């Protein structure tokens, strides 16, 4: 159910040697080869390149991580952790692909509803 089309077909790119302090929101895809300290919110795909570094929460529909991510990761559809990836934080994802060599430390929740509502305790 896509009501919002990406503003542009060109992907957003954060190049090597670039450091951003702050949050990023986009309707399109974004590729990160630099450093970001802040949250990334994308209705498209987030790609963290092999030299990319993100410290903060990432929320998107698809993600491919080849670099380093320290923080929470919420992916509605497919999350792909490449062999060179280092993820330290909690993951909520619809589907998960992990290549041999990837480093992941944290908790992982998977399924069609990656963010289930908390249930009240039964007495």
pLDDT at residue 70 tops 70: yes
40-42 vs 91-98, strand pairing mode? unpaired
Is residue 24 a contact partner of residue 41, using CB atoms and an 8 Å limit? yes
pLDDT number for residue 85: 97
- Mean pLDDT to the nearest integer, 37-55: 96
Residue 45 pairs in a beta bridge with 62
| Cut 0.85: pTM above it | no
* CA 14/CA 31 separation, integer angstroms: 6
- Mean pLDDT to the nearest integer, 49-67: 96
Q: Position of tokens 């990761």?
A: 73
- The residues spanned by each domain of the chain are 12-104
């Amino acid at each position: 159910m896509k009501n919002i089309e990406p503003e542009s077909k060109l992907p957003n790119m954060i190049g090597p040697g670039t450091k951003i302090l702050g949050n990023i929101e986009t309707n399109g895809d974004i590729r990160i080869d630099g450093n970001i300290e802040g949250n990334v919110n994308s209705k498209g795909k987030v790609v963290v390149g092999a030299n990319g570094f993100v410290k903060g929460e990432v929320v998107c529909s698809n993600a491919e991580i080849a670099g380093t991510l320290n923080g929470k990761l919420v992916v509605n559809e497919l999350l792909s952790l490449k062999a060179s990836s280092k993820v330290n934080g909690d993951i909520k994802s619809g589907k998960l692909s992990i290549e041999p060599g990837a480093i992941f430390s944290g908790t992982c929740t998977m399924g069609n509803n990656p963010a289930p509502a908390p249930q009240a305790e039964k007495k």
